[in-house]
Amino acid sequence: MSNGKSRSVIKRIYVPTHVRELPSGERVTVPGHYRKPAES
């Protein structure tokens, strides 16, 4: 089994551009980027 489909082999996940609103009412634009998936 070397097709890599049997288990999750995602090295990086892409986070699209989004706007976060902080509790203070400030808006922060987070540009699209890759990040390592959270290992649980």
Domain for residue 3, yes or no?
no
Domain for residue 24, yes or no?
yes
Q: What confidence score (pLDDT) does residue 29 get? A: 93
Domain count, the chain: 1
| Three-state DSSP class for residue 10 | coil
Query: pLDDT by residue (tens digit) across 1-40?
Result: 455 555 666 678 888 998 999 999 999 998 998 887 766 5
Q: What confidence score (pLDDT) does residue 7 get? A: 63
Write the CB contacts of 18 (distance below 8 Å, at least 6 apart in sequence): 29, 30
Tokens of 37: 């998936």
Nearest to 33, CA basis, from 16, 20, 21, 19: 16
Q: Radius of gyration over alpha carbons of the chain, in Å?
A: 16
Domain hosting residue 15, numbered range: 10-40
Domain for residue 32, yes or no?
yes
HSE-up of residue 39 (Cα within 13 Å, Cβ side): 4
Domain for residue 39, yes or no?
yes
Q: What confidence score (pLDDT) does residue 36 get? A: 79
Domain for residue 15, yes or no?
yes
